[in-house]
């Protein structure tokens, strides 16, 4: 294998970053960026989890004097906001970053530098959000920040402005990432991987990215109008001057409901990858699952109004949107049936990823049911803004996001670190999380029936909510311990785990054909794909006797046609650079300057951003001119 060894050396040399601090800041390697994404998102999970613990301590009994009302509001807002925006979606972006190029046999993303930019702006937006509690005033309007409560009259503190600007920066990051993933999935798939052979994770990820591209502008619009009102005295949401607070709700939920699918769909895609491998058979109803995924994304745009059933809307439109909300659960049901059928007809192996996948299915069924319940309008009137809703969102979010994410971590970390996770710790991890869910968050539904409103910082003993709340806090504690054991396991196994080998699970998709961890250049030869399960069929992916898919003339990967993935073009890739980082910093500065109304400084940062982008786009050598 001397020839192969030199090929390995040559490719390594082409693709490596300088082994110093510059190399770390300048890297545009999707594997490193993906891992950073995952680690950063988990850090946000822990921070927001800590905030949750503070809230649960406050609510453990009646009239506890641990947090003030204002502190509770701020912590609750930070918890919800961080979880929804800086953990749930970014962690999926992290997996997508790491996995998508490997799943399609490409060597990097379509726009590697944009990818680095996406990560840096994600990080900086989180930093921006967390500057506000350091200044002693965090946002306080809940994660959906309804006006008029969040306008400059009722919330004059600067925290709300940090909320708005950090979210705008995050929007830039998320949109850039979406564009990048779409271009990657539709341009860089290995020859032969036509769309009907794509792993389901690619279906769910690409659907999600389209949803992002078309729904996030609503958030941007809502926030821009809010800041114009707050900082510059405009009147969009001001009913005293022909404005309308309901405009915020319209815009926010036009974005907000698709967002629920943004943090749910990729997770279902991961389950559709993990489950068949541990059932030792292809997924049942591939086409149905793929179709249901796309339709969920589409119909998800039609359900935003169901968040406003209590605001008084025309009867007909309420009927329409209630219908759309119920339709969407049909698509989820299709997926659930496909998973159950896969388990039923397969030979399930109960390894850690499988446990979490099963836990996910159970929780999503419960959460889905309570969701359909709130789509029934009279029911929603009754339980709107009670703990029933808090229970529902946690079942959906934890069930549909945290559990799949843990399944994915147990499944793919061996690829990333080269070590298998400890199975004993995994079982504790799962058992405690699942018990905690049932004890803590299921009880919240009952607390809701007992009439406890959400977002209250304390209650009196006479209310009769004491026992339920105590149980919830205990359950939350169990859940948190479970999560911490999982995180301990990741560190522990990274050091002491057994070597994973290329394909520890005997899985079917391309990422498992490389060594664990994969070499910096990804694949030695661009593979060809002959079926939905490249590693299970007899076709040899890397068979290339004439060295035609080596592509070692500089940083290169293969581009193919969008639908059928016919071999066609050489895609050149840029070298490492700190420009994305600089651009991200300039945007960060721009946000801060606008926030403090320092217009000249803002102009300076805008010019800096433009210069950085121009430098970025200017071809560094004749070869790169497209």
Partner 1 sequence: MSVVPGSMQDVYPPTTRPHERGRGIWGMWLFIGTEAMLFALLFFAYFYLMASRTQWPLEKDPSYSYALILLAILLTSSFVASWAERGIKEHGNLGRLNVGLGLTLLLGIAFLGVQYIEYQHKLKELLPTDHAYGSVFYTITSLHLAHVIVGMLMLTFVFARGLAGHFNKERHLAVKNAVLYWHFVDVVWIFIVSIIYLSPHFYGGN
Sketch the per residue contact string, 570 through 609, with partner 1: x for CB under 8 A, - otherwise: xxx-------------------------------------
Which residues does residue 572 pair with via DSSP β-bridges, in sequence order? Answer: 556
Q: Smallest distance, Å, CB 44 to ligand HEM? A: 10
Structure tokens at 140: 């306080």
Structure tokens at 156: 């004059």
Which position among 155, 401, 429, 609 is part of the footprint of ligand HEM (CB under 6 A)?
A: 401
Give the residue with the Cβ less far from partner 1, 424 or 620. Answer: 620
Which position among 167, 303, 397, 433 is part of the footprint of ligand HEM (CB under 6 A)?
A: 397
DSSP structural state of residue 60: S
Which position among 187, 307, 394, 419 is part of the footprint of partner 1 (CB under 8 A)?
A: 187
Whether the Cβ atoms of residue 189 and residue 560 lie closer than 8 Å to each other: yes
Query: Which of partner 1, ligand HEM, none lies near 17, with the C-beta cut-off 5 to 8 A by kind?
Result: none
| CA nearest to 183, candidates 571, 454, 457, 528 | 571
Which position among 305, 324, 363, 398 is part of the footprint of ligand HEM (CB under 6 A)?
A: 398
Which 3 state secondary structure label does DSSP give 406? helix
Sketch the per residue contact string, 264 through 303, with partner 1: x for CB under 8 A, - otherwise: ----------------------------------------
CA 420, 425, 431, 434 dihedral sign is negative
Query: Which of ligand HEM, partner 1, none lies near 491, with the C-beta cut-off 5 to 8 A by kind?
Result: none
Which position among 17, 152, 244, 423 is part of the footprint of partner 1 (CB under 8 A)?
A: 244
The answer for residues whose C-beta is within 8 angstroms of residue 464's C-beta and 6 or more apart is 450
| CA nearest to 188, candidates 272, 286, 110 | 110
| CA nearest to 587, candidates 123, 228, 217, 214 | 123
Residue labelled with tokens 């078309």: 214
Sketch the per residue contact string, 524 through 543, with partner 1: x for CB under 8 A, - otherwise: ----xxxx-----xxxx---
Which position among 476, 582, 585, 594 is part of the footprint of ligand HEM (CB under 6 A)?
A: 476
Structure tokens at 220: 């941007």
Query: Which of ligand HEM, partner 1, none lies near 143, with the C-beta cut-off 5 to 8 A by kind?
Result: ligand HEM
Which position among 61, 142, 217, 418 is part of the footprint of partner 1 (CB under 8 A)?
A: 217
Please count the other Cβ atoms lying within 10 Å of the Cβ belonging to residue 109. Answer: 29
Question: Rounded to whole angstroms, how far apart are CA atoms 447 and 427?
Answer: 30
Residue 183 sits in the site that holds partner 1 (CB under 8 A): yes
Which position among 36, 56, 392, 549 is part of the footprint of ligand HEM (CB under 6 A)?
A: 56
Residue 316 sits in the site that holds partner 1 (CB under 8 A): no
Residue 52 sits in the site that holds ligand HEM (CB under 6 A): yes
Q: Smallest distance, Å, CB 537 to partner 1? A: 6
Q: Smallest distance, Å, CB 63 to partner 1? A: 43
Query: Which of partner 1, ligand HEM, none lies near 397, with the C-beta cut-off 5 to 8 A by kind?
Result: ligand HEM
Which position among 28, 41, 67, 88 is part of the footprint of ligand HEM (CB under 6 A)?
A: 88
Three state DSSP letters for 279-344: HCCCCCCHHHHHHHHHHHHHHHHHCHHHHHHHHCCCHHHHHHHHHHHHHHHHHHHHHHHHHHHHHH
Residue 101 sits in the site that holds ligand HEM (CB under 6 A): no
Q: Smallest distance, Å, CB 599 to partner 1? A: 14
Q: Smallest distance, Å, CB 455 to ligand HEM? A: 4
Question: Rounded to whole angstroms, how far apart are CA atoms 115 and 98?
Answer: 11
CA 356, 361, 366, 368 dihedral sign is positive
Whether the Cβ atoms of residue 412 and residue 98 lie closer than 8 Å to each other: yes
Determine how β-strand 556-560 pairs with β-strand 567-572.
antiparallel
Question: Rounded to whole angstroms, how far apart are CA atoms 225 and 467?
Answer: 44
Query: Which of partner 1, ligand HEM, none lies near 178, with the C-beta cut-off 5 to 8 A by kind?
Result: partner 1
CA neighbours closer than 13 Å in the CB half-sphere of residue 37: 30
Residue 105 sits in the site that holds ligand HEM (CB under 6 A): no
Residue 84 sits in the site that holds ligand HEM (CB under 6 A): yes
Residue 617 sits in the site that holds partner 1 (CB under 8 A): yes
Residue 251 sits in the site that holds partner 1 (CB under 8 A): yes
Question: Rounded to whole angstroms, how far apart are CA atoms 522 and 107?
Answer: 5
Secondary-structure percent of the chain, ordered helix, strand, coil, rounded to 5: 70, 0, 30
Question: Rounded to whole angstroms, how far apart are CA atoms 300 and 70?
Answer: 35
Q: Smallest distance, Å, CB 45 to ligand HEM? A: 7
Residue 482 sits at the vertex; the CA angle it makes with 275 and 458, to the nearest 5 degrees, is: 120
Which residues of this protein are in contact with ligand HEM, per CB under 6 A?
A: 49, 52, 55-56, 76-77, 79-80, 83-84, 87-88, 142-143, 390, 393-394, 397-398, 401-402, 454-455, 476, 479-480
Which residues of this protein are in contact with partner 1, per CB under 8 A?
A: 110-111, 114, 175, 178-180, 182-183, 186-187, 191-192, 194, 213-218, 220-221, 224-225, 228-229, 232-236, 238, 241-244, 246-247, 250-251, 254, 528-531, 537-540, 546, 548-549, 558-559, 564-572, 610, 614, 617-619, 625-626
């Amino acid at each position: 294998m001397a020839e192969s060894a030199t090929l390995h050396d040559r490719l390594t040399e082409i693709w490596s970053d300088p082994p110093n601090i510059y190399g770390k800041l300048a890297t545009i390697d999707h594997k490193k960026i993906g891992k950073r994404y995952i680690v950063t998102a988990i850090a946000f999970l822990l921070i927001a989890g800590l905030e949750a613990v503070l809230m649960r301590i406050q609510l453990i009994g009646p009239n506890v004097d641990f947090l003030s009302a204002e502190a509770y509001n701020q912590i609750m807002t930070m918890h919800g906001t961080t979880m929804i925006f800086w953990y749930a979606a970014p962690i999926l972006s992290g997996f997508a970053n790491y996995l998508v190029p490997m799943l399609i046999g490409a060597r990097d993303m379509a726009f590697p530098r944009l990818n680095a930019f996406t990560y840096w702006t994600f990080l900086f937006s989180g930093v921006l959000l967390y500057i506000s509690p350091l200044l002693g005033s965090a946002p306080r309007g809940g994660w959906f920040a309804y006006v008029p409560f969040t306008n400059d009259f009722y919330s004059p503190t600067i925290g709300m402005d940090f909320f708005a600007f950090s979210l705008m920066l995050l929007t830039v990051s998320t949109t850039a990432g979406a564009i990048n993933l779409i271009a990657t999935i539709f341009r860089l798939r290995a020859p032969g991987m036509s769309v009907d052979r794509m792993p389901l994770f690619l279906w769910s990820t690409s659907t999600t990215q389209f949803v992002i591209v078309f729904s996030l502008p609503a958030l941007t619009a809502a926030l821009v109008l809010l800041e114009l009102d707050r900082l510059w005295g405009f009147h969009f949401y001001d009913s005293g001057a022909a404005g309308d607070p309901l405009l915020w709700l319209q815009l926010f939920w036009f974005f907000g409901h698709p967002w629920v699918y943004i943090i749910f769909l990729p997770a279902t895609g991961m389950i559709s990858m993990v489950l068949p491998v541990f059932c030792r058979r292809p997924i049942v109803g591939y086409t149905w699952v793929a179709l249901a995924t796309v339709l969920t994304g589409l119909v998800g745009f039609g359900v935003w109004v169901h968040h406003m059933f209590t605001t008084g809307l025309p009867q007909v439109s309420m009927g329409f949107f209630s219908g759309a909300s119920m339709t969407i659960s049909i698509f989820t049901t299709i997926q659930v049936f496909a998973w159950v059928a896969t388990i039923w007809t397969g030979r399930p192996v109960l390894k850690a990823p499988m446990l979490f996948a099963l836990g996910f299915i159970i929780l999503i069924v419960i959460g889905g049911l309570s969701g359909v319940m709130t789509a029934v309008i009279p029911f929603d009137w009754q339980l709107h803004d009670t703990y029933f809703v808090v229970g529902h969102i946690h079942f959906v979010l934890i069930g549909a996001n945290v559990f799949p994410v843990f399944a994915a971590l147990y499944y793919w970390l061996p690829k990333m670190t080269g070590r298998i996770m400890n199975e004993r710790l995994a079982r504790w991890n799962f058992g405690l999380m699942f018990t905690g869910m049932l004890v803590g968050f299921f009880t919240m539904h009952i607390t809701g029936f007992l009439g406890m409103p959400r977002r209250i910082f304390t209650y009196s003993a006479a209310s009769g909510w004491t026992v339920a709340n105590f149980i919830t806090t205990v359950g939350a504690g169990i859940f948190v311990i479970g999560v911490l054991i999982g995180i301990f396991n990741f560190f522990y196994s990274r050091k002491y785990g057994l070597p994973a080998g290329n394909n520890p699970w005997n899985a079917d998709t391309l990422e498992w054909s490389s060594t664990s961890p994969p070499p910096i250049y990804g694949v030695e030869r661009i593979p060809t794909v002959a079926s939905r399960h490249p590693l299970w069929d007899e076709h040899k992916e890397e068979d290339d006797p004439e060295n035609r898919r080596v592509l070692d003339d500089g940083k290169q990967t293969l581009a193919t046609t969008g639908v059928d993935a016919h071999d066609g073009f050489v895609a050149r890739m840029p070298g490492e650079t700190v420009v994305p980082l600089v651009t991200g910093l300039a945007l960060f500065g721009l946000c801060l300057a606008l926030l403090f109304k320092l217009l000249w400084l803002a102009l300076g940062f805008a010019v800096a951003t433009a210069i950085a982008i121009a430098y970025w786009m200017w071809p560094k050598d004749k070869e790169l001119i497209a």
